[in-house]
């Protein structure tokens, strides 16, 4: 088992922004500023961008670990927090998503 390392939201946001730049390339203009606080919804969105995942990819990954959600439910996680259909990406969903990512990319 790996030791636990605690990092701040700003450090995680900076790492995720770096992953996006590494995988997708640097955009014109200044580097993105890491959000603080960083929500689970933002983590999901940043990983989706960095890994170039489509909604169907995420749904398939979750289904591969027997954690099925609907396309409508997934889209609610990507909405603006002010939108009436916005839903928080709860810790349990993030945990399932990270497990699905690990399963997909572990041996690549």
**pLDDT mean by block of 10 residues, the chain; 108 residues:** 88 95 90 92 97 97 95 97 97 96 84
Whether 17 maps to a domain, the answer reads: yes
Tokens of 69: 């959600």
The C-alpha angle with vertex 42 and arms to 40 and 48, in degrees rounded to 5, equals: 105
Range of the domain at 38: 9-105
Alpha-carbon distance of 90 to 87, in angstroms, equals 9
Whether 57 maps to a domain, the answer reads: yes
pTM as predicted = 0.90
Whether 54 maps to a domain, the answer reads: yes
Whether 1 maps to a domain, the answer reads: no
Count how many domains the chain has. Answer: 1
Whether 86 maps to a domain, the answer reads: yes
Whether 3 maps to a domain, the answer reads: no
Whether 2 maps to a domain, the answer reads: no
Whether 4 maps to a domain, the answer reads: no
């Amino acid at each position: 088992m790996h030791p636990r390392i605690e990092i701040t939201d700003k450090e995680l946001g900076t790492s995720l922004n770096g992953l996006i730049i590494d995988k997708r390339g640097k955009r014109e203009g200044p580097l993105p500023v890491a959000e603080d606080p960083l929500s689970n919804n933002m983590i999901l969105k940043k990983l989706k961008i960095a890994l170039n995942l489509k909604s169907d990819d995420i749904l398939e990954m979750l289904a591969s670990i027997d954690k099925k959600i609907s396309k409508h439910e997934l889209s609610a996680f990507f909405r603006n927090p002010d939108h009436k259909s916005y839903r928080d990406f709860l810790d349990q969903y993030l945990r399932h998503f990270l497990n699905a990512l690990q399963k997909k990319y572990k041996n690549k």
